Amino acid sequence: MKLPALLFCCLTLLCVQTCFAGRGDVQVALKGGTLGIGAEIGVGLTDAIILRGGADYLKFNFDSTIDQIDYNMEPELKNASLLLDWHPFANGFRLTGGVYLNDNEINVDGTYRKDLIPGQYRQYADLTDLAHVKGTVDFNTFAPYAGLGWASNYGEKGWGVAFDVGVMFQGEPKVSDLRAESNFGLENNPEVVRFLDEQKRAIEDDLNEFRYYPVASINLTYNF
C-alpha cells in the first residue's frame, strides 16, 4: 500500500472518531517511539473504552553482512493505526488491541566483502564497488497489534503523558525486485540469477525478526 492510500486511511479514521465525539472526551497526542514520530486522535466510546487512530513515520539505516555480502539496510516505516484501549481498573492502566496499516519496507544495497576475495583475484578488489545487489523488502499491509500502557490524565481534562509498549505482528519479510547492478553486463548470467535467488532467501532469513516489531512510545496528550 502506497502513501496516498495510507493518508486516506488516516482521514477516514479521523472522520469515524468525530462521529463518536459526542459520547466522550476527545484526546489529541504527539508521539515518538520505535515507529518514529507521529500524531493521533482518540475519543472515549465509554468510560472504560477509548478508540484511537493515528499515523507514524520513521526512516533509519543499519549494516548487516549476509553470505559474504555487506549490506546497507534502510528501513522506511509508514504506519496508520486503529487501536482500542480498555481501562479495566478505572485508572490510567490500559490494555490495547488493534491493527496497523503499514507501508513498511526495507531498501537493501550490498557489495561483496573485499577481505573475502581469494588472493589470486585480490587485484580486482576495487571492482567490487562497481557491482551492487539491490532490492526491496516488504511486509504484510495489515499488522495486528497487542500491548499495554498508562495514561496520566485518564478521565481528566488538560495535559498529560502516556506510555505504550507492545508488539506489531507484520508478517514475514518478502524480498522483491532483487537485482544485480554493475558495469559488466552479467545481470542475466545464469550463475548471477542463481546467486540472487540464494541471496533473496538469505536476506529474508536475516530480517525474519522484523515480523514481530516491538512498539514502544511516549505520548504528550491533551484531553478536551
pLDDT in tens, 39-98: 999 999 998 999 999 999 999 999 999 888 899 999 999 999 999 999 999 999 999 999
Alpha helix positions (H), 102-223:
190-206
Q: Does residue 90 sit in helix, strand or coil?
A: coil
Q: Are 223 and 40 in contact (CB under 8 A)?
A: no
**Which grid cell sits at 15?**
472522520
* pLDDT of amino acid 87: 97
Q: Is 21 left (phi over 0), alpha (psi -120 to 50) or beta?
A: alpha
Q: How far is it, in rounded angstroms, from Cα 93 to Cα 95? A: 7
The number of folded domains in the chain is 1
DSSP H/E element including 100: strand 93-102
**Which grid cell sits at 83?**
487501536
Which tens digits make up the pLDDT trace of 144-168?
Answer: 999 999 999 998 999 999 999 999 9
Average pLDDT of every residue of the chain: 86
Q: Give the predicted TM-score (pTM) of the model.
A: 0.83
Q: What is the DSSP letter of 68?
A: T
Domain at 14, CATH number: 2.40.160.170
Which tens digits make up the pLDDT trace of 111-134?
Answer: 877 665 555 545 555 656 667 889
Q: Are 31 and 79 in contact (CB under 8 A)?
A: no
Higher-pLDDT residue of 3, 212: 212
pLDDT of residue 19 exceeding 80, the answer is no
Structural domain including 90 reads 3-223
